[in-house]
Amino acid sequence: MTETAAHTTGSFTPPTRFAVPGRIEVDGAAAGTWQTATLTEIRRETHRASTFRFAVPGWAGHLPGQHLMLRLTAEDGYVAQRHYSLASAPDDSGHIELTLDHVEDGEVSGWFHTVARPGDRIEVRGPLSGFFAWPGDRPALLLGAGSGVVPLMSMVRHHRALGLTVPLRLLVSARTPGELIYARELGTETTPVFTRGAPAGTPVGRMTTAHLAPLLAEAPAGGWEAYVCGSNSFAEHASRLLVAAGQPVDRIRIERFG
C-alpha cells in the first residue's frame, strides 16, 4: 500500500470491471493510495447540502455508486476520516464531486460547510466498493433518502451522459421539496416522495408499496437490479418494501450511511 506523506488541511481544526452478479473488482492500488484533492468549487443544493468539486489529477476513474475515503489532517496531527459517495458521473475531467449533508455537530461535514474554501487541499483514497457500483449494463431501480441520493445521482448522470437506453428509475424520499437534493436536475426517471411537507395535491408520507408497485409492474425482461441507499432505518424500510413487492433478495444492493 502506497501512501503520500500526511499533510495538514487548510484551517481544519477538530471541534470541540463487470461482474454480474456480485462485486465489481476494485483497483487495489487506487484504493490504497492517498491523493491530494484541491477544492475548486462549492455549489449549494439545499439549505443543508452542498456539492464540493475537487481537482484530483491522478484520479483513477470510478463507476457510479462507488465511494471514497476522505481525510482531513489538523495542524496538530489530528486526523478525521469519513466515507463519501461520488456524486459525479465518471468522466475524464480530472475532477470529482461529492455532496455533503451538514450533520449537526458533525466534525467533517461541519468543516466543509463552514470553513472550506476553493483552493483548500484535502486527501482522498479510492474509488472503493465494487458491490454498490452500477456499470450501466443492467436495468436499475434506485431507492434513496436524504443524502442517500448521492451515489444514485451518479448513476442517473452516467445514464444521461452516455445516452444509455437500459431502463433506470429513481424513487427518492426527502422531508420537503426544499430538502430534495438535485431537485433541479431530476427528470422523468424520478418519483419524489415527501415525508413532512409537499405542494398542495401531493401526498405526504413515507415510501410505501404503492410507490413501488407500478415500478415493479413495468419491470423489464430479466427484472430490476435494485440499489438502496440512505440511513440504516431507510435501508431497512426500503429493502422490506422491495421484498414484499416481489423483488428477489439477491437483487437488492444496499449502501448504509448510518
- State which of residues 52, 134, 234, 257 lies at the interface with ligand FAD (CB under 6 A): 257
Polymer length of the chain: 258
Q: Does 110 bind ligand FAD (CB under 6 A)?
A: yes
Site for ligand FAD in 136-165 (CB under 6 A): 147, 150
CB nearer to ligand FAD: pick between 109 and 215: 109
Binding mask 34-73 for ligand FAD (x = CB under 6 A): ---------------------------------x------
- 8 Å CB contact between 64 and 34: no
Residue choice 9, 33, 85, 88 for contact with ligand FAD (CB under 6 A): 85
Stretches 76-84, 174-182, 183-191, 243-251: which one binds ligand FAD (CB under 6 A)?
Answer: 76-84
82 binds ligand FAD (CB under 6 A): yes
> Least Å distance between CB 148 and ligand FAD?
8
48-to-8, 44, 138 alpha-carbon distances in Å: 26, 8, 33
Contacts of range 211-214, beta carbons closer than 8 Å, 24 or more positions apart: 211/171, 212/171, 212/241, 212/242, 212/245, 213/245
Taking CB under 6 A as the rule, does residue 192 contact ligand FAD?
no
Q: Which of 40, 253, 43, 12 is nearest to 134 (CA)?
A: 253
Cβ(51)–Cβ(45) below 8 Å: yes
Burial class (CB in 10 A: 0-12, 13-18, 19+), 95: middle
Asked if residue 127 has a cis previous peptide bond (ω within 30° of 0), the answer is yes
109 near ligand FAD, judged by CB under 6 A: yes
How many residues bind ligand FAD (CB under 6 A)? The answer is 19
- Which residues are at the interface with ligand FAD (CB under 6 A)? 67, 82-85, 99-101, 103, 105-110, 147, 150, 255, 257
